Structure 1
Amino acid sequence: MALLLRRFSKVMQRNALIKTYSDSGVRLRILPSTSCSYEDPVQIKVSGLTPRQHVEMRSHLKDDKGVVFKAAATYQADGSGEVDLSRHSSLVGSYTGVEPMGLFWSMKPDVPHSKVVKRDGSTPLHVHIEACSGGETLAKETNERHFASHGVRRVPVSDGRIRGTLFIPPGEGPFPGIIDLYTLGGILCEPRAALLASNGFVTLALALYGYQDMPKKIEKLELEYFEEALTFLQKLPQVKKTGVGIVSISKSGELALSMASLLPNVKATAWINGNIANVIFPLHYKDIVFPPLTVSMERITVTPSGVLDIRDALEDPMLKENHASVMPIERASCNFLFVVSEDDRNWNSAYYAEQASNILKAHGKTNYEVVSYPKAGHFLEVPYMPHYPSGIHAAVGQAVAFGGEPKAHADAQVDAWRRVLEFFKKHLDCDNGPFKSLLEPKRQLKDE
């Protein structure tokens, strides 16, 4: 009986809320649909307000670790009683000015130094939007944002030593293949891999260590592991046999370069804020050992916010005594895309990209391009992902600065994602077969 009463109470409360929202005459719409791909922008409109009424727009999401991210911005309705985030300016709040997706990229966590964690790329993130005035909610709606589009298959991988998750586009294929490498720690980051599959690439999100039954702590990395992953991907019937792509960020940058330099069948490598030299662990391949760069503790400083700035902590890889740590990218035959954030505080990725370009140029190579974003920070994620300015560094064990100004960083994420897709479409034999149809605008997942 008590359970029935509680359920009845919840129903009555929900109905009361619905009645309150409908009685207000205010309507909040997310266009063109409340369900969309994570990479797609939406238009948020509120109607039924009093002309010139001030309204606070709020957003929040809860990630897979239970951390809540929030943003809020105040708007003034126009003469028709409407607020349209694609036309009207935020007056004050998490951001100001005309920012159609400001409620998404400006969200901040309620737990300091947190980034959005999404373990399963086949399920969406739900961003809840509210229009409030005088402390009351006038209207609300939820934007269901998918990483994997309709028909994309998620397949856990446990093959020999290989651990990760495979995302396969809909259709028979074969499709271009990509290995997605992330950064340190015992997590597997799936959103980018799922989005790549939604754009027509069979993508393997590959774990480095500490994932499932993999060792939690390691003393070295072996390139043979990544070679096995390349072989595994190339043998899949859904994958084209014309060479694979690699996308990397942070620590995985030099791993991507080592794969491109020493392993066969790598055709295109996208390097995002990485290094050109080995760091943290020795990297072994057959009889070759790449020692890690050493760290100069005296070059670590503390920011005004109290977190560490480790940007200049590593020794210069171009010094003669450090050449053994540098990846031999002059041996690579693939195409490179170096994506650089100039306000990267994790390390000097702009300098590393410059040196990589110099090495390739000195060997008569033209198989590279560099894209630079002046005010972006280290973690360039998929479009509209909340900015991650500081976090607990897996190698340092303390909070460090990652840099970036939120608005500039958000713009960089959108542009960098477009360039990465164009890069792989250009260099991974994407002009024929079923992939061509996937280049057309994606159908919305649910109608408005």
Structure 2
Amino acid sequence: MTERDYDIVMFGATGFVGRLTAEHLAKFAPEGTRIALAGRDRAKVEAVRGALPGTAADWPVVVADSSNPASLRALAESTRVVISTVGPYAKYGLPLVDACATAGTDYVDLTGEVLFVRESIDKFQDEANRTGARIVHSCGFDSVPSDLGVLVLAEAARADDAGELGDTTLHMAMKGGASGGTVASAINQLDEVRGDKAKRKVATDKFSLSPDRAAEPSGEWRDSVAVRHSPEIDAWTAPFVMATFNTRIVRRSNALLGHAYGRSFRYREVQRTGKGIAGRLAAIAIAGGLGIGFGALNLKPIRPLVERVVPSPGEGPDAQARAAGWFKAEVRSTTTTGAPYRSIVAAQGDPGYAATAVMLGESALSLALQRDECPLPPGLNGGVLTPATALGNVLADRLRARGFTVEAGRSA
């Protein structure tokens, strides 16, 4: 990569998570890291910069608009890494991915949209591989805990010569809410698949993000929609709202790594709700709420009522509520030798806001400052990658330094 003006450009700095990510960079980026803030309204971006810690006072402002390809090309050519929080990504994100892939610029975002990632792969995989651009989607709560959790689990089992991963389940416990951007993305995807059989097939395919669909093993679990008691954790579980996306990212990682997790690897995600009758009732409530919520969003006459009670894009909880949130992703697997293994990825802070800003910021810093140490899948020079395959243990170490738990080993 030729010398660029900046190490990182934060595109979408005026959005809620964009501001939080910029704040994280202002606090924790090493001295000398060249950072710029970008958005379509210079005055608004300058106002965000003015509210950041003093280290950001001299950060340049770049004016760029998702509807202006020339401005996106100039942005991509000016920096080594782009962070994008401008969604819904299916509506606004592809031109920036195009610009980064063409310019050989690394890119990270927060998307949880299957259709967007699939289109990104189809359109830009070859070009990004040619230029060496590392396009890394889903670097927040979607899907870093899932992707790193399975990666370190597989590595721990391999280091012990305990075999490959078999049946593997992520149990998510959390306190926090979905962001307005996440809700907007869900609405956009529901609208895209309505009446479009091809898109609906992609959205529901368990291996929709695979680089080679025909090579995927049979027997993979369906997405869990049931309330059930899990003997391995002695607790009740409910469907996890992000599972239908996260599982596709994890399966893409496995495929990009030559199915290093194992040919008998089967993966699902559920939400842990607790023990006893209270846990069971909570699981029933979550399952029912998800069904009603998505059903209501799918009915346009009712949708405005739902939109009144969920956050709008660009909105989020106050600092006290963000600090009170937390998540714990516990991944359990039985290997092909019959050995039980467990990994944990956990952090304090609202998952969709505070923790996500850390994960996104540290993903960008991984590429900006430690690119030579970051992994690449076998046979690739770049491309549309995943957190596990593009960032791996470099990101895991950076998150540990920021107070996250990322650990794995044999379980009792």
Same-fold call, TM > 0.5? no
Higher gyration radius (CA): 1
TM-score by length of 1: 0.30
TM-score by length of 2: 0.32
More helix per residue: 2
